[in-house]
Amino acid sequence: MARSRLAKIGTIHSRTSGLLRSGAMKEEDKPLWFDIYEAFQPKDEPRFDRPISTGNIREIFYEEDVIRAKFHKDHPSLPFVHLNDTSRLSQTQKFIATYQELSKEGGVQKSELYKAAVSQVIGQAVRSRIDKPQPSEETTSVADTEKGKTTNLNVNINNILKEQ
């Protein structure tokens, strides 16, 4: 009648089926998973005292994982990746795409291929930073809250740094 509540004894299925048989749990209160478990029972019963399987877990690597790891090891200070922004590729994605394009041409060793892809991607990144217009002069409006006046100030960032 009274059983142990220790979770190590029996499985959740055996305890639930015992409650249903004894009438302690009504058929309408039966868990959703119970019928599914009965229909598709596992090959090995999930018990606490079951020995651990000794099967080896296979490592799953894609072809580009080794190259990606080397790229991140050699360049630890890559720009942040915005996961919500799917319109632009990250530096790593650009590198992998460039590496794969160069490898399709063939006839080049992997080390030379890696160096060529890195120089091409880093060169593109530097050129994109140079091409961006740098803000040198900025107009700021300051509101005087007491008098309700707005004043425009012309601020040259380069001159501010030179004065100090």
pLDDT value of position 110: 85
pLDDT over 70 (residue 159): no
Higher pLDDT, 154 or 29: 29
In Å, what is the CA distance from 146 to each residue of 141, 143, 149? 15, 9, 8
pLDDT over 60 (residue 135): no
**Range in 14-18, 46-50, 108-112, 153-157 the model is least confident about:** 153-157
Helices (H), 29-144: 32-39, 65-74, 91-105, 110-131
* Rounded average pLDDT over 130-144: 54
- Buried b / exposed e along 90-126 (16+ C-beta atoms within 10 A): ebbebbbebbeebbeeeeeeeeebbeebbebbeeeee
pLDDT value of position 7: 62
Domain boundaries, the chain: 1-47, 83-130
Average pLDDT of every residue of the chain = 79
pLDDT value of position 152: 61
Nearest-angstrom CA–CA distance, 98 and 92: 10
pLDDT value of position 63: 84
pTM over 0.75: no
pLDDT digits (tens, 9 = 90+) for 70-124: 999 998 888 788 888 888 888 889 999 999 998 888 778 888 899 998 888 888 7
Please report where in the chains the tokens 């890696």 appear, as a residue.
Answer: 114
pLDDT value of position 97: 92
